[in-house]
Structure 1
Amino acid sequence: MGDGTLFLNLSDNLCIDHISATTSTLIVQVVSMPAVSCCPLCGQASDQVHSRYQRVVTDVPCGNRSVRLHLQVRKFFCRTSTCPRKIFTERLPELVQPSARMTNRLRLALEELGLATGGEGGVRLAPKLGMPVKRSTLLRRVRAVAVPEVSTVRVLGIDDWAFKRGQHYGTIQVDLEQHRVIDLLADRSKELPGSGCNAILKSR
Structure 2
Amino acid sequence: MAISELLAVLFPHLACLCIDRVFRAGRSVRIQARTRTSQAVCPSCGVLSGRVHSRYERRLSDQAIAGQETVIHLQVLRFLCRNEVCAKKTFAEQVPGLTVRYGRRSIGLGECLRAIALALGARAGARLTHRLAAAVSRMTLIRMIPSLPDAAADSRPQVLGVDDFALRRGHRYGTVLIDMATSRPIDVLAERSAESLAAWLQGHPGIEVVCRDRAGRYAEGTTRGAPDAIQVADRWHMWRNLGEAVERTVTKHRHHLRELPQTTTQIDPAPPRDPQPDSDPKPREGRLAERTRQRHTAIHDLLAQGRQIRQIARELGLGRTTVRRYVRPWRSTAVPLEPPPTPPTVRQVTGWILRHPDNLQPDERQQLETLTAASPAPASVREHVRGFAHMMLHLHGDQLERWMSAVEFSDLPELRSFVTGLRRDLDAARAGLTLPYSSGKVEGQVNRIKMIKRQMYGRANPDLLRKRILLAD
| Same fold flag (TM > 0.5) | yes
Give 1:45's aligned residue.
48
Pick from 63, 68, 82: which aligns with 1:65? 68
Whether 1:17 and 2:259 are equivalent positions in the alignment is: no
Taking a change above 3 Å as real, the CA distance of residues 117 and 100 of structure 1, as seen in their structure-2 partners, is: same
Indicate conservation of the 8 Å contact 1:39/1:78, yes or no: yes
Indicate conservation of the 8 Å contact 2:178/2:187, yes or no: no
Indicate conservation of the 8 Å contact 1:157/1:176, yes or no: no
Instruction: Measure, in 1, the Cα distance between the counterparts of 2:61 and 2:140.
Output: 13
Pick from 122, 126, 129: which aligns with 1:126? 129
**Could you tell me how far 1:108 is from its partner in structure 2?**
0.9
Indicate conservation of the 8 Å contact 1:5/1:15, yes or no: no
Letter in 1 for 2:141: L
**Could you tell me how far 1:52 is from its partner in structure 2?**
0.5
1:157-194 Cα shifts (integer Å, max 9, x gaps): 9799xxxxxxxxxx9x7969747565789xxx9x7699
Give 2:85's aligned residue.
82
Instruction: Measure, in 1, the Cα distance between the counterparts of 2:164 and 2:16.
Output: 44
Instruction: Measure, in 2, the Cα distance between the counterparts of 1:76 and 1:47.
Output: 7
Instruction: Measure, in 2, the Cα distance between the counterparts of 1:126 and 1:21.
Output: 20
Query: Gaps (5+ residues) in structure 1?
Result: 161-170
Give 2:443's aligned residue.
201
**Structure with the higher fraction of residues in strand conformation:** 1
Pick from 83, 97, 102: which aligns with 2:100? 97
Identity across matched positions, percent:
28
Residue 133 of structure 1: SS of its match in structure 2? coil
Of residues 146-155 and 16-25 in structure 1, the stretch that sits farther from structure 2 once superposed is: 146-155
Taking a change above 3 Å as real, the CA distance of residues 79 and 175 of structure 1, as seen in their structure-2 partners, is: same
Instruction: Measure, in 2, the Cα distance between the counterparts of 1:159 and 1:16.
Output: 53
Higher relative contact order (CA 8 A, sep 6+): 2
Taking a change above 3 Å as real, the CA distance of residues 155 and 44 of structure 1, as seen in their structure-2 partners, is: same
**Could you tell me how far 1:27 is from its partner in structure 2?**
1.0
Query: Gaps (5+ residues) in structure 2?
Result: 168-173, 198-209, 213-438, 451-473
Instruction: Measure, in 2, the Cα distance between the counterparts of 1:93 and 1:108.
Output: 14
Instruction: Measure, in 2, the Cα distance between the counterparts of 1:115 and 1:159.
Output: 20
Q: Which has the larger radius of gyration?
A: 2
Letter in 1 for 2:443: L
Instruction: Measure, in 2, the Cα distance between the counterparts of 1:142 and 1:67.
Output: 24
Give 1:165's aligned residue.
none
Indicate conservation of the 8 Å contact 2:160/2:177, yes or no: no
The number of residue pairs the alignment matches comes to 188
1:81-116 Cα shifts (integer Å, max 9, x gaps): 333322221122421210011111111111111111
**Structure with the higher fraction of residues in helix conformation:** 2
Letter in 2 for 1:201: E
Q: How does 1:111-150 map to 2 (within 5 A)?
A: 111-148=114-151
Give the TM-score, by structure 1 length: 0.73
Residue 121 of structure 1: SS of its match in structure 2? helix
1:52-84 Cα shifts (integer Å, max 9, x gaps): 001111111111011111110111122233333
**Could you tell me how far 1:122 is from its partner in structure 2?**
0.3
Indicate conservation of the 8 Å contact 1:157/1:201, yes or no: no
